[in-house]
Amino acid sequence: MKKILLLLPAIFACSLSAHAKLNVVATLPDFGSLAREIGGDKINLVVLAKPTEDPHFVDARPSFVVSLRNADVLIDGGAELELGWLPPLLQNARNPKIEIGKPGRVQASQGIRLMNIPANATRAAGDVHALGNPHFTVDPIIAKAIAQHIAQSFSALDPANAAFYEANYKKFEAAINAKLQEWGAAMLPFKDQHVVAYHDSWPYFAHRFGVSIDIFLEPKPGIPPSPSHLAEVISQMKAQHIKAIIVEPFHDRRIAEKVASATGAKVVDFSQFPGGMPGTDSYVKLIDILVSRLAAALK
């Protein structure tokens, strides 16, 4: 007990002097990677969800309470993807700086038009998100908007480094704009081709790159694939000559492989999150890999 009492002033002192850097918490790794692009080494970044796990069901670990308590900025989706685990963390964290409406709260969906807003919110349709599909960061144009929002927020809270954040945004914007040409060209030969996905998390990617990702191994969002539904998917794939099935790191790949072998299609490893697969430790690298993998599978 004495040791802890002696440590306390030291810890207070550390936290005060370390205020040189913004303490940023991002719920998901896509927001985290954008925060790192903008903030560089001028921020301390904690990302709550792992890039390999299902973002709908992240454990609300008590250590997250500590990170949120110390946060100057919280970046979350604002489209209810984190609804199953973020609220009790926030209640326990008691950090007024990151409440909705405060400068320290960045909701990534702000100002973004979400796709597939359901006309009726009923759970009979599975795990439907009432505000629209929340997996939007995977569209590079939306990613730019989020990055700009983050830059504005960092600059407002840390005006001394505003020029740095703004410059990083410009760099990111330029990189994306250049890459968009490249990615567009790579995907052009496959315009309007159909692709199957395990879960309905790719409408923004599909919209941006001109493919159609509207057949899913899940019969409804969040409902595990059933044999009868898979049989239907297989016959659809054969009828439309669909060549690719995209799965994320936490999905049951064997199910996708069974469907692939029955149809001659390829299973393509995808992820919404930088870091979810080797070689994807930045946003640009992630989209690079997604585009090149999908293009290779669709040839």
Partner 1 sequence: MTPDASQPITIGGGRNYMNISLDGLFALAYSSARDLDHIEVGDHDPQQRGFNARNVELAFDGAVDPYFEGFANIVFKLDNDNQTEVEVEEAFMQTTSLPFNLQLKAGQFFAAFGRLNPTHPHTWDFADTPLVNGLFLGPDGLRGVGAQGSWTLPLPWYSQLIFASQNGRGSTGFSFRNPGDDGMFFDRITTDREARGLQDFVWIPRFENSFNLSDTQTVLAGASGAFGSNETGANSRTQIYGADLLYKWKSSHAEGGFPFVKWQTEFMYRRFQAGHGADDSFPVAETFHDWGLYSQVLWGFKKGWVAGVRGDYVDMQDSKFTDDLDRQSRWRLSANLTWYPTEFSKIRLQYNQDFLEQNFFLSAREVESVFLQWEFILGAHGAHKF
Give residues in contact with partner 1 (CB under 8 A): 4, 8, 11-12, 15, 50, 52-54, 56-57, 59-63, 65-66, 69, 80, 82-88, 90-94, 96, 99-102, 121, 123, 126-127, 130-131, 222-224, 249-252
CB of 189 to partner 1, least distance (A): 33
CB of 139 to partner 1, least distance (A): 21
30 vs 76, which CB is nearer to partner 1?
A: 76
CB of 50 to partner 1, least distance (A): 5
CB of 143 to partner 1, least distance (A): 23
126 vs 264, which CB is nearer to partner 1?
A: 126
190 vs 198, which CB is nearer to partner 1?
A: 198
94 vs 170, which CB is nearer to partner 1?
A: 94
Helices 162-187, 140-157: inter-axial angle, 10-degree rounding: 180
What are the helix (H) ranges across the chain?
2-17, 29-39, 62-69, 86-93, 140-157, 162-187, 203-209, 227-240, 253-263, 283-298
Residues 6+ apart with CB under 8 A from 293: 268, 269, 270
**How does DSSP assign 20-64, residue by residue?**
GSEEEEESSHHHHHHHHHHHGGGEEEEE-S-TTS-TTS----HHH
CB of 11 to partner 1, least distance (A): 6
Euclidean distance between CA atoms 19 and 44, whole angstroms? 10
Burial class (CB in 10 A: 0-12, 13-18, 19+), 33: buried
- Take residue 76 and report the two structure tokens written for it: 């979350």
91 vs 181, which CB is nearer to partner 1?
A: 91
Query: Which helix (H) or strand (E) is 73 found in, with range?
Result: strand 73-76
CB of 208 to partner 1, least distance (A): 25
